[in-house]
Amino acid sequence: MNVSRAVCQCAKWTKNMNGPRPDVKFHGWAVSKGQNLRQVGIFESTSKQQRMIKCNMNNQFIRNNRYTTMEEMTPDEKAQKFQRPISQTTIDEEEVSKFSALSALWWDEGGEFEALHSLNELRVPLIRDALVSKKTLDEYNVAKPLDGFWILDIGSGGGILSEPLARLGASIIGVDASEENIKIAQAHLIHDPAIRDKVKYVNTTVEEIAQTQAGKFDAVVASEVLEHVADANTLVSCACQLVRPGGSVFFTTINKTRIAHLLGVVVAERVLRLLAPGTHDWEKFVAPKDLSYMLNKNNCATRLLHGMLYNPLTKRWSWIKDTSINYAIHAVKAESDDFLWTDVSVRKEQMEGQS
């Protein structure tokens, strides 16, 4: 499927997104288990020129041949770091080929993506509870708590996150750069007629979708994707464009710390073989402060930041306070254009001064 046709089909599928949306409030919901998740589908460009562009887009800034942290950067350096190159893309054909080769393994819960399958025990309830909190008790549907919500799943892979969200009632558009991943997702969807009409998969990029569907989604999810793209700022910017005012943006990703490199790359890939060697590149990891910075710059305020920990013995994930390895962020887009972005630390100081 070519890009223009894919975008047209996505526009057709989402033509009714502008209808009235309920103003809703939270009612409790038990954590579901045994639901699956998915891997990434939007990746980094391999061209030398784009790799040169990328060097100043990472979580540190090079000054006088040394890296500086966010706190050490001048306002001009921050602006340069998070500036979006016009020609920049999130796609890396080499990465697409690598994950396409693994496409047949998406639904093997004890295989290559086992750790990702278990992550659904955290991220599905996170997304569900954040969205359901906007419903009133009269609008709350116990069987389908996400009924009425439109969700964009960026890097939908084999559909392992899209399907459980659809089972909770959400209407899902999954986008992925790999045609093989899309075919696997579509083939697996056939096995569940109950959600067949709730999920649509498109072989395209988030940049293409953002051109035609800005402001159409109640929520945009980019789970385990950010650490695989060429330009994190472009991905965040597109995600924030796609969500409607008052809507939610969700990210799960890996922090840019030494311990994250040790456990997430060295141990997970080379020692325990939980992931294929070369799955992650520490240079592309993003720190929570930097992600919050980018979200705020795009009119989205961070509402929640949680650390996540994977236990290779129990093969289960759990929430923790420490965000030094894996973490999840939930942000909400401002209701109006009057939202003024400020650095996260400045916002915190202002809030403390008012208390």
Binding annotation for S-adenosyl-L-methionine: 123, 155, 176, 223
Query: What are the residues facing 202 on neighbouring strands?
Result: 175
Residue positions forming the annotated binding site: 123, 155, 176, 223-224, 227-228
Between CA 81 and CA 88, with CA 82 as vertex, the angle to 5 degrees is 100
Phi, psi of 145 (to 5 degrees): -65, -25
Residue positions forming the annotated binding site for Mg(2+): 224, 227-228
- State the CB neighbour count (10 A cutoff) for residue 142: 7
The span from the first CA to the last CA of the chain, in angstroms, equals 55
Phi, psi of 315 (to 5 degrees): 60, 40
Closest CA to 268 of 327, 312, 233: 312
Q: How far apart are CA 286 and CA 225, in angstroms?
A: 11
Give the distance, in angstroms, between the CA of residue 300 and the centroid of all CA atoms in the same chain: 14
